[in-house]
Amino acid sequence: MMLKDKVVVITGGAGLLGRAFCHAVAENGGVAIVAELDQRRGEEVASQLNAKGLAGRAVFAHIDINNHASIGRVIKSLSRRFGTIDALVNNAYPRNKRYGRKFEDVALADFTENVALHLGGYFLATQQFIKFFRKQGHGNIINMASVYGMIAPRFQIYRGTQITMPVEYAVLKAGILQLTKYLSKYLRGSNIRVNAISPGGVRDRQPVSFLKAYSEFCLSKGMLDNEDVCGALLFLLSDLSKFVNGHALVVDDGFSL
Ligand SMILES: NC(=O)c1ccc[n+]([C@@H]2O[C@H](COP(=O)([O-])OP(=O)(O)OC[C@H]3O[C@@H](n4cnc5c(N)ncnc54)[C@H](O)[C@@H]3O)[C@@H](O)[C@H]2O)c1
């Protein structure tokens, strides 16, 4: 029971990584707060976990990380219900409808909107949780970054597919890594830790040609499954990483080497 009774808020909790994270938290003795914009999918994840013999270990909370009042409501209702919130996992993936275009096709308005939605959303949620964590005297924040916040894109692996590495993503993930370092230092002496996870790509019905090109950069498995990132999350949430702070844990089967 690595996370015995720890209350962990996972934004984007119904997404590809989020649902695996909620599962891992609940299975390891924590209470997973499936904090989601998509109410139907969020409730589904929570009820699936509760039905799996993990009753009371998963709770849905409707949240929009781009809305100040919505974040405040979640903090208030969880703190009333549980008396504590132990951790925030910034894992939501907001983007607008025109996200994912090639560099030349990205309008400035879309560039700024997507950076504001994602990096700005992580900032907004973090800012409000920190205020709460300071009051309760402890806290733990884990930011989902990416290897593409660290290295230049490997554009060649996208050849012949509709997929690209959006410029906004590279820029905002680099921003999230720097935000992580900034806050860990800013929060010196507050008993609040801030770390990041930088995963490589996660398998999600990508074309076979892409998976093959991707795996040529890897050391054993190639593109990972969502459960493969959970160990890093559990470590950073647990007291095993008590003195790990301002760190970005890379989970990518060597892709970024
Ligand atoms: N999937 C990958 O290959 C991969 C690799 C590296 C890093 N990451 C990062 O991991 C995180 C999760 O990625 P994913 O692939 O699971 O994404 P996903 O798109 O599968 O899930 C994201 C979830 O966020 C929710 N969401 C969107 N806007 C929201 C908002 N404003 N407020 C609350 N929730 C909102 C969506 O409804 C969705 O359920 C992201 O930060 C992503 O950049 C993903």
The tokens describing 122, both together, are 């992580």
Closest residue CA from atom 30 of ligand 1:
64
Identify the structural domains of the chain with CATH numbers, from first to last: 7-250 (3.40.50.720)
Q: Is the CB of 10 under 6 A from ligand 1?
A: no
How many A from CA of 210 to the centre of ligand 1? 20
Q: Is the CB of 100 under 6 A from ligand 1?
A: no
Q: Is the CB of 65 under 6 A from ligand 1?
A: yes
Active site residue 158: no
- Report pLDDT digits (tens) over 103-112: 999 999 999 9
Confidence tier at 161 by pLDDT (50, 70, 90): confident
How many A from CA of 174 to the centre of ligand 1? 16
125 neighbors 46 (Cβ within 8 angstroms): no
Confidence tier at 55 by pLDDT (50, 70, 90): confident
Angle in degrees, CA 18, 130, 124, rounded to 5: 65
Element spanning 146, H or E: none
Q: Is the pTM of this model over 0.85?
A: yes
With tokens 């950076």, the residue in question is: 115
Report CA Rg, the chain. Answer: 18
Element spanning 138, H or E: none
Mean pLDDT of 184-200: 98
